[in-house]
Structure 1
Amino acid sequence: MSRLLSIAAGVSPDVGPADFVTSAAAAGWPACGIWFDPDTWSDAVAADVRRRLDDTGLVALDIEPVFVSVGDDGSTVDVGDRVIDAAAEIGARNVLVVARGAEPGPFAERLAQLCDRAAPAGINCVIEFMAFMSTTDLASAVDVVGSIDRPNAGILVDNLHLARTGSAPDELRALDPAWLPYAQLCDAPADLAADSIADVVTEALDGRLAPGEGGLPVAEVLDALPDDTPLSMEVRSKALRDDHPDPTERARTLFAATLRFMKEYEA
């Protein structure tokens, strides 16, 4: 298999980042995501995460999130500098950035600053678009990344958000492959039963399925991505958490489902 497979941090929001590394490794994953909680992240947490990554050999594909919002004076506000420093310390390859209230111009300016801070450590800053954030769709993300001259700026394509914001997989073929350092993958029903923003949020946080278990054009997204794009399995699912309260068993179940799908896809 040519693609690096990773389990996204959102699969286990009930598990701290260091323990998540351990459970992912025990389940057989070669890579994982790391969740950055600004209220609990510390030098000790970073050291523990790095130690477990080193001990298990897992790749830290990404660390998330950086929410770029707007302060009372109109300037952008975020903890991005801290997240990038944490990424450099643990060896994460990508930092996930989201515009939460920031307009395109100020967001692009802040993204450029984050890219400059991340560049010496070889870290990419990727923006994720979603209907309920300020960068709402693929076209908006393309506009932001295209407006800054930063080789480590990119776009994180989550195939659920791609579908729910009205884009087709073939639109990915027009993007510069350098803008796609990794992608997030899951499945879901082909159509959302209701279309309010609250329903979209609920599905994104709790209603996802493993690849191959729903009706989204998952294979078509893979066809449109570069062949070596790493894949983060962003299966945020209340059902998965309820059925598998043990995080290692949860990770193992998702890994098995992912491997089945990839085997069928590559056949």
Structure 2
Amino acid sequence: MSKFATLSSEESIFSLSHLTLIGATPVELVYIAARAGYDAVSPRFIPIRVPDEFLESPLDKAQVQAFKTALATTGIQVLDIELARITEDVDPCSFEPALEIGAKHMIMSAWTNSRDDRDYLIDVYSQTCDLAMPYGLTVELEFPSFSRLRTLDEALDIVRASDRPNGGILVDTLYLHLSRVDLGELLHVPSELLHMIHISDCLPGIADTQVGMIQLARDARLYPGEGWIDFNGIIERMPPVNYSIELPNRTRLAELGYEEHARRCLVHAKNSFGKSRSKRRLQTSTMSKSKEEKNEQATY
């Protein structure tokens, strides 16, 4: 079995994504997650300086030690680390200090300006996978609807072309909606590339500007069950995966505070899709793409 094999349904865990509480330090994130009932955290150990992001360097030695102490004290796991961004001048080696935290996955997305840089994206993604391999991490390529890679097919093209054993595709329920991805397209992604999913809900309308999409993604996501997202349909078409709740909502944070907002995120998630299970037949990594897709679609 592959080192990066998919899970069984019983092994899936719930993680608190740092963007949900972007002002918290990684240490604060751990203790809040523990009190709110999560299994893991998804800390942002590679800051990108979005508004309200915590100011302390998460890779400061004292911060790292405090983070590890918090993990040991609470029993909380580290599901993934964020956010490795592909930019025009990025050096993948700059991500390496964050790889030592002990996560299972690293999240990556592309933010270059050119639409003609496929080879460059493949090269940087491949280098990052190679860098992460000795640490046992997969590199999950995400497709935010306002980034360089805006669709599932675009992200899948880069991962397939890179052909790394620790490659992966990160499905975010919000971006599935904003990018108008038909849920049937999830069956085109080999099970071995799907390890986790970002969870949040939204209303049915789709913002028609980049500014509108960014505002929704960073400040106004909804609790699962409050909006339009078909979580059951998504989960049924995925292999068993882990769940990272990425649900920033500025209004809810102001009303409820960090811990209560985090707790409600988890409660709504479990109430909305906690009993949902994959209906996809898992295939081995040696199966050809065409045969795998045929079998998985026939199963559903």
* Aligned-partner SS, 2:125: helix
Corresponding residue for residue 135 of structure 1: 149
**Consecutive unaligned residues in structure 2, runs of 5 or more:** 1-8, 48-55, 278-300
Q: What's 1:215 paired with?
A: 228
Matched with 2:109 is 98
CA RMSD of the aligned region, Å?
A: 1.7
After superposition, the Cα gap between the structure-2 partners of 1:254 and 1:119, relative to the gap in structure 1 and judged at 3 Å, is same
- The aligned counterpart of 1:249 is 260
| Aligned amino acid, residue 45 of structure 2 | F
Q: Distance in 2 between matches of 1:179 and 1:64?
A: 18
Deviations 1:76-98 (A, max 9, x none): x15x434343232x211111111
Q: So what's the TM-score if we normalise by structure 1?
A: 0.90
Q: Displacement, 1:70? A: 0.8
State the one-letter code of the partner of 2:30.
Answer: V
Q: What is the aligned-residue identity percentage? A: 27
SS at match of 1:147: helix
C-alpha displacement of 1:240: 2.0
Secondary structure (helix, strand or coil) at the match of 2:153 reads helix
Supply the distance in 2 between the matched residues of 1:37 and 1:157 (Cα, whole angstroms).
20
Alignment of 1:112-123 (within 5 A): 112-123=126-137
Find out whether 1:23 has 2:23 as its counterpart: no
2:57 alignment partner, one of 31, 35, 40: 40
Cα distance, 1:163 vs structure 2 = 1.3
Q: Tell me the equivalent position of 1:126.
A: 140
Aligned residue for 1:7, secondary structure, equals strand
Determine if the alignment matches structure 1 residue 55 to structure 2 residue 64: no
Deviations 1:52-91 (A, max 9, x none): 11221111111100111113xxxxx15x434343232x21
Match in the other structure for 2:162: 148
Letter paired with 1:163: H
Q: 1:28 is matched by which residue type in structure 2? A: G
> Residues 188-233 of structure 1, C-alpha deviation per residue, up to 9 Å, x if partnerless?
01222x411111111111111111110122221111111x200111
Does the CA contact (< 8 Å) of 1:98 and 1:129 recur in 2? yes
Asked if structure 2 preserves the Cα contact closer than 8 Å seen for 1:22 and 1:56, the reply is yes
- Whole-angstrom CA distance in 1 between matches of 2:155 and 2:198: 15
* Structure 1: unaligned runs, 5 residues or longer: 72-76
Distance 1:264 1:177 in 2: 20
Cα displacement (A) at 1:31: 1.0
After superposition, the Cα gap between the structure-2 partners of 1:263 and 1:120, relative to the gap in structure 1 and judged at 3 Å, is closer
User: Matches of 2:63 and 2:94 in 1, distance apart?
Assistant: 13
Aligned equivalent of 1:85: 97
Distance, in Å, in 2 between the alignment partners of 1:84 and 1:186 is 29
